[in-house]
Every structure is written in C-alpha cells, then in structure tokens.
Structure 1
Amino acid sequence: MPDAEIRRGLQARSGAEVADVEMPVFWVECKHHRQVNIRAALRQAVEAAPQGRIPIAVTKDDGAAPIVTLGLDDFLEFVGEWWTRRER
C-alpha cells in the first residue's frame, strides 16, 4: 500500500471503537504480551470491525516474530484474488 495513508489509531474518548492502526481495507487489532491470546485478539477485531473492513490481528509474543491472523473466509478471498490475477 505504497500511497495509502497508514497511521496509528487513537483510543476514542467518545466510546466509539477505532482500529489500533488506521489504514484502508483492514481493521487492525495489535497485541503484545508474554504470550498473546491470538483468538481473543482476532475476536476483538471481528467484533469491532465496521462493515466492509477486513478484521486482522497482529500479535507478538515476547522474544518472537510478529504474526498476522485473519479468518479463513477472508484468507480464501485473498487467495482467490491472487490466483485469478497471477502471471501465468
């Protein structure tokens, strides 16, 4: 997303949900702990994501590389788009 405006989300004071990272297409929930509960992080993203935004969780356990988690339906949609656009 080279030309996209991507920035850190700010916690809403009005009670409205905001993503941890503001960007097109995705609703990003970020977590960092000794051992992150990946399912809970993704569930939080799914529950907060507005219509039309793809919920993802970016999580990082202490001393480990970050990972991205998304639902199977969203993943299969990405794979399907990639498959139809790939160079043959």
Structure 2
Amino acid sequence: MTPEIIAQWKEIIITAAAYLGAGFAMIAGIGPGVGQGYAAGKAVEAVARQPEARGDIYVTMLLGQAVAESTGIYSLVIAIVLLFVLT
C-alpha cells in the first residue's frame, strides 16, 4: 500500500470513529431524561403527601434536575466536538 492510501484510510477511520462516538454520546442523553422524569414524579408524590413542604421539595427537585441536566449537556458538547472539530 502506498502512503497516500494509508493516509486516506486513517482519515476514514478517524471520521467513522468520531461519528460513532458522537452517536454514543447522544445516547447518554437518555439517562438524564429518564432520571429527571422519575425525580419530578417523586416530587409530585411528596407534595401530595405533605403539601406544607412544597417549597422545600420544589427547591430540592430543581437542584437535582440541574445536576442531572448537566450530564446531558456535557454529552451534547462532546458530540458537537466530535462532529465539527475532529472531522
């Protein structure tokens, strides 16, 4: 094989790996979505049991939602870097 063909194959493999990695990174967005839905459901149940603690439950749920959403945002940033910077 000539060096030109080897260079072309390296570029193809790097591009394919970047696209595959970006896809896997976006699959990581499923976890935070499921977790946020579960947390919101449990918060509604807690408010139904103790309506007087609604403010505390709401603040705690929002803090947990923000932490969970950061995972999804990180995976989106990684996918964008893989797609637009490495290819």
Question: Does TM, normalized by the shorter one, top 0.5?
Answer: no
How high is the TM-score relative to the length of structure 1? Answer: 0.26
Q: Which has the larger radius of gyration?
A: 2
Higher share of residues assigned strand: 1
